[in-house]
Structure 1
Amino acid sequence: MKHVLITGGSRGIGASTAIECARRGFGVILTWNSQADAAESVVDRIKVRGGKAIAMKLDVGDVGGFDLFRTALEQEMKIQWNAAGLDGLVNNAGYGLFNPIETVTEAQFDGLMNVHLKGPFFLTQKLLPLLRKDSSIVNLTSATTRVATAGVAPYAAFKGGLEVLTRYMAKEFGGRGIRVNSVSPGPIRTELGGGLNDEFESLLASQTALGRVGEPHEVARVIASLLTDDGGWINAQSIEVAGGYNI
């Protein structure tokens, strides 16, 4: 059995990715920071369908906790599955902030940077020794790196940085047989940034060629495919999953 770690797996795209990966036969480790019950609910849904999953606490914005997390991860995988090593890593955890540049505080800026860029950088570094040959890393970025949307400048800037980092990871990890790609969702029906109200959803749908917003499972299927042999020759790419948003 292959094993994948998905950060921010308690809801939205992360939860859908955990369920989709389990459906494809992965043992899933999903992380949560503030929503333990939601994470355990995802684990229960996977187990009811015959899959294997565990949930572990991780604050992606706290680099100082990564050593302890890695130790706990190795212990849990040994206990639960008598397994060692990962075949996939999905850097998905994140949150939104909608403020114009003139009102963003330094604390808000730093918080977004820690979760969306610094955290994935150092978590990947810390877990790199656990990633087996022919494994796959998927970084979640955003269509806001392509389409400038007022009010999300810090978020988009750090997602843009993660997109660039993806190519550098692919370059440096290629000798280990590790592929690295980014998936860039467009408007998706999740709780990010407080979710979508009817008016905002209608606006986003009108800006999308397919005439609607996307669902988390539609992004999850793309992520999961990149973790399997189906994506075995896809590397260093940014794949937008947005239904033709602002084209």
Structure 2
Amino acid sequence: MGTALDGKVALVTGGGRGIGRAIAERFARDGAVVALTYARNAAAAGGLVERIRTDGGRAFAIQAELGEHGDAHRLWAAFDKEIEQYVPGGGVDVIVNNAGETLYEGLETMTEEAFDRVYAVNVRAPFFIVQQALPRLRDGGRIINIGSGASRLAMPAIMGYGATKGALDVFTRNLAELLGPRGITANTVAPGIVDTDMNADWLRGNAEADAEWSTRAALRRVGRPDDIADVAAFLASDDARWVTAQVVDATGGVGL
């Protein structure tokens, strides 16, 4: 286990799979106590917690269905109960808003229900998670929002999704200004196409899709979850103490 996050407590939403899983694993290796949330897949989250503990780390899972009114309150109530066994008195140092809803819908086919759902999960949930974290978030802390390269590119087929990630970018800048006097940084990590379960149905095992998206990246491959986790680990560390209000492009150079 590393030492970059020794003595720190991190919350990673959507930490049971994909990018969130990779971030949770990396933070645990760096010494943090990791609280990871999951919506429905208890087996995946539980398996990750067990793996982290087997490797000598500290972690626990919280079931949290985001996108519903009261979701942040329920999340933090569960967090407060669990963290006591690791850190008496509680508190959190790093918040990663990773959980998100993907929506492959454009202007012509978007329904009001789908629009409300993607905004509730991708924008409203992070807003209130941070709002209710403020009494718990220690000075010198870190907020890391997982955005998307879609917020800087014109992609009409997923414009509703891209707009939610653009909203996160604005949220990040405002948090940086608001919380800067406490030494708290706020940054967005913006991945491109990453080989995760979320994209598995059209990307994994599809040589044509893999080749297409690899060609769009300057580094000529699609991303891996650990590519994003390593960026998040830097932003969570003391090495990134002078970096705030940034959208860190982690697309491998898509759209250059």
In structure 2, the residue matched to 1:153 is 159
Question: What pairs up with 1:153-232 in 2 under 5 angstroms?
Answer: 153-193=159-199, 194=201, 196=203, 197-232=206-241
In structure 1, the residue matched to 2:9 is 3
Contact kept, 8 Å, 1:63 with 1:123, in 2: the verdict is no
Contact kept, 8 Å, 2:71 with 2:125, in 1: the verdict is no
Structure 2 distance, partners of 1:69, 1:33, is 11
In structure 1, the residue matched to 2:246 is 237
Structure 2 distance, partners of 1:195, 1:224, is 29
Measured after TM superposition, the shift of residue 2 of structure 1 is 0.7
The one-letter code matched in structure 1 to 2:37 is T
The one-letter code matched in structure 2 to 1:244 is G
Structure 2 distance, partners of 1:149, 1:68, is 35
TM-score by length of 2: 0.93
The one-letter code matched in structure 2 to 1:233 is W
The one-letter code matched in structure 1 to 2:84 is K
Measured after TM superposition, the shift of residue 195 of structure 1 is 5.1
Structure 2 distance, partners of 1:240, 1:94, is 18
Residue 84 of structure 2 aligns to a residue in which SS?
helix
Residue 211 of structure 1 aligns to a residue in which SS?
coil
Measured after TM superposition, the shift of residue 81 of structure 1 is 4.0
Contact kept, 8 Å, 1:61 with 1:115, in 2: the verdict is yes
Contact kept, 8 Å, 2:36 with 2:59, in 1: the verdict is yes
Residue 188 of structure 1 aligns to a residue in which SS?
coil
In structure 1, the residue matched to 2:4 is none
Measured after TM superposition, the shift of residue 96 of structure 1 is 1.1
The one-letter code matched in structure 1 to 2:107 is I
In structure 1, the residue matched to 2:126 is 120
Structure 2 distance, partners of 1:62, 1:228, is 32
Cα distance per residue 1:178-232 (max 9 Å; x no partner):
1100000011111225451332221110111111101000100100111110111
Structure 1 distance, partners of 2:202, 2:119, is 21
Measured after TM superposition, the shift of residue 58 of structure 1 is 1.0
**What root-mean-square deviation, in Å, do the aligned CA atoms of Structure 1 and Structure 2 show?**
1.3
Q: 1:179 to 1:63 in 2, by over 3 A?
A: farther
Q: 1:68 to 1:99 in 2, by over 3 A?
A: closer
Structure 2 distance, partners of 1:100, 1:158, is 13
Measured after TM superposition, the shift of residue 169 of structure 1 is 0.6
Is there any run of 5+ residues in structure 2 with no aligned partner, and where? 1-6
After TM superposition, the runs of 4+ consecutive aligned structure 1 residues lying more than 6 A away are none
Number of equivalences = 247
